[in-house]
Amino acid sequence: MFKQVPVSELNARLARFISIMNTTSPSWKMAIIINKINLYYFTGTMQEGILIVPREGEPVLWVRRSYERAVSESLFDRIRPMESFRDAAAAYSSIPESVHLETSFIPVAFMKLLQKYFPFHEALSLDSQVALVRSVKSAYELNLIRKSGELHRIVLEEKVPELLREGMSEVDLAGALYDQMLQLGHHGVARFGMFDTEIGIGHIAFGESSLYPTSFNGPGGNYGMSPAVPHIGNRNRKLRKGDLVFVDIGFGVDGYHTDKTLNYIFGGKPNQEVQEEHNRCVDIQDRLASQLKPGVIPSVLYEETMNSLTPGFLKNFMGFGNRQVKFLGHGVGLIIDEVPVIARGFDAPFEENMVMALEPKKGIEKVGVVGIENTFIVTPQGGECVTGHSRGLVVVQ
């Protein structure tokens, strides 16, 4: 019924993870992976369970619910059932003093429950090692990302202009857009690794709504449904002639995302300031894309780019008012906010087949957020765009 992740993919991923653990943590003894996205990455199934990777011995996926589904959809050949962690722990003659875990993900209560049966004394992080493995995509993964990118292009460059109509609300557009996405093949969710982050379809905003402050770590904004659901769109903000329409959404195929933003002018034309500021953002994207090559250091690229911009342009660049983010792009894959990030502190160089979303954007008072976002593959020739080549600020009459 479902497309299975090839066993060669699963084996290569685990082998690379073990190799990186051997390099970064030479004394490691056992890794326990619980996050469902990481479970899917390493085993091809997303169940309630744990993947135990001992330094000596074979990795085993222990599944509580649903063992039957795991066996049916995964080609990973070491899947075992468990009623509780007790069953898994009984298979190991000794538990090391230190165990590597997803410490940025696991709640304290869950870790205490795990320690009841796996009595380790020290929890060490494996987050950066898993992120490094996932950051470089295989041909199998790139194929899915390219499929997502082409469908993403169709959604934003072809479908959105057909959906816009005067008097519709942001929620109306979100609903119609989500329906179109599902029909085209979208996997239905937009996943983030950022702690305690949820999002619906993305940021869909008319006019000044895209300037409204949010807790989401991105340059765009949104009024949202209410203080209880501060995203998706707003039922009361209606589309008027002359409005800037801001659409920042993820798309995904079989778990793999692309990220893209396009904006539109509905029933009018952009004035000179709006057009010029938007064009500067697109030019920044193009310059950044030309530097998405193996060996280029993200933090250096960030500093060089920011230092090249005038103080006047930097005002409200990558946000609006007091809400400005400190990056220009980010990795994309099984989640939309992967590493690396084009920002300070990311000093490891790009590697070929990393996938990056570039999103230079700028807020304009009483207008909204202009700029662009597309997803690129790192190649020796520079970034290969997989989400289309529209320069945005599309006029829709």
Rounded to whole angstroms, what are the CA distances from 383 to 60, 283, 387? 37, 14, 12
Is the model's pLDDT at 198 over the cut of 90?
no
Rg over alpha carbons for the chain, rounded to the nearest Å, is 22
Q: What is the pLDDT of residues 327-338, one digit of tens each?
A: 999 999 999 999
CATH numbers and ranges of domains, the chain: 7-134 (3.40.350.10), 136-396 (3.90.230.10)
Is the model's pLDDT at 277 over the cut of 90?
yes
Is the model's pLDDT at 1 over the cut of 80?
no
The DSSP bridge partners found for residue 245 are 206, 264
Structure tokens at 119: 């009595």
| Cis status, amide bond into 215, omega within 30 of 0 | no
* Integer Cα distance of 386 and 51 in angstroms: 33
Q: What is the pLDDT of residues 279-305, one digit of tens each?
A: 999 999 999 999 999 999 999 999 999
pLDDT above 90 covers a percentage of the chain that reads 94
Is the model's pLDDT at 147 over the cut of 90?
yes
3-state SS, 171-240, equals HHHHHHHHHHHHHHCCCCCCCCCCCCCCCCCEEEEEHHHHHCCCCCCCCCCCCCCECCECCECCCCCECC
Neighbours of 60 (CB within 10 A): 20
pLDDT at 361: 98
Place of tokens 């700029």: 371
* Integer Cα distance of 257 and 254 in angstroms: 9
The DSSP bridge partners found for residue 61 are 51, 79
Host H or E run for residue 53: strand 48-54
DSSP class of residue 373?
B
Residues 14, 20, 24, 28, CA torsion sign: positive
Sheet holding 384-385, edge to edge: 338-342, 329-331, 355-358, 374-377, 384-385
DSSP class of residue 3?
P
Across 87-96, 130-139, 178-187, 193-202, least confident range: 193-202
Q: What is the pLDDT of residues 213-261, one digit of tens each?
A: 999 899 999 999 999 998 889 999 999 999 999 999 999 999 999 999 9
Structure tokens at 96: 């090391």
Q: What is the pLDDT of residues 119-142, one digit of tens each?
A: 999 999 999 999 999 999 999 999
pLDDT at 2: 84
Mean pLDDT of the chain: 97
Is the model's pLDDT at 61 over the cut of 80?
yes
Is the model's pLDDT at 199 over the cut of 90?
no
pLDDT grade, residue 380 (50/70/90)?
A: very high
* Integer Cα distance of 195 and 380 in angstroms: 33
Torsion of CA 153, 157, 162, 168, to 10 degrees: 90
Is the model's pLDDT at 373 over the cut of 90?
yes
Place of tokens 């933003």: 261
pLDDT at 309: 98
Q: What is the mean pLDDT of residues 197-214?
A: 92
pLDDT at 382: 98
Q: What is the mean pLDDT of residues 1-10?
A: 93
Place of tokens 């792009």: 329
* Integer Cα distance of 305 and 308 in angstroms: 5
